[in-house]
Amino acid sequence: MIADFDVLKDNAGSGNTEWIDASCDSEKITTLLESQIDRLNIEYDDGAWTKHPTKVKISDPKQFVLFRFKFFGGIAEVLARNFKINRPRKLKTG
């Protein structure tokens, strides 16, 4: 594991999120899922691939929402099926 502690320190304060995006675009979601298959570098026996969780997700990408968060130092992508968004709350200071 590699950690950039300057980035972590800069994300500790308020205002560390440049933007947030939510997308139901099936093409974007499928592209993200397909990119993960290559990164996993796993081989399957004949027939087993059709039951693999990633393949099942690719078969119905409309069940997901792709959230993208831009922080100082990078972008986090989160694929969600069930989620709840709460109202933002003010952080206590001091």
Domain ranges of the chain: 16-40+52-83
| pTM of the predicted structure, to 2 decimals | 0.63
DSSP 17: E
Tens-level pLDDT at each residue, the chain (94 residues): 444 555 555 555 556 777 888 999 999 998 988 887 767 666 666 666 666 677 778 888 888 999 988 877 788 888 888 887 777 666 666 5
Cα 83 from chain centroid?
13
Distance CA 93, CA 5 (A): 23
Residue 68: CB atoms within 10 A of its CB come to 15
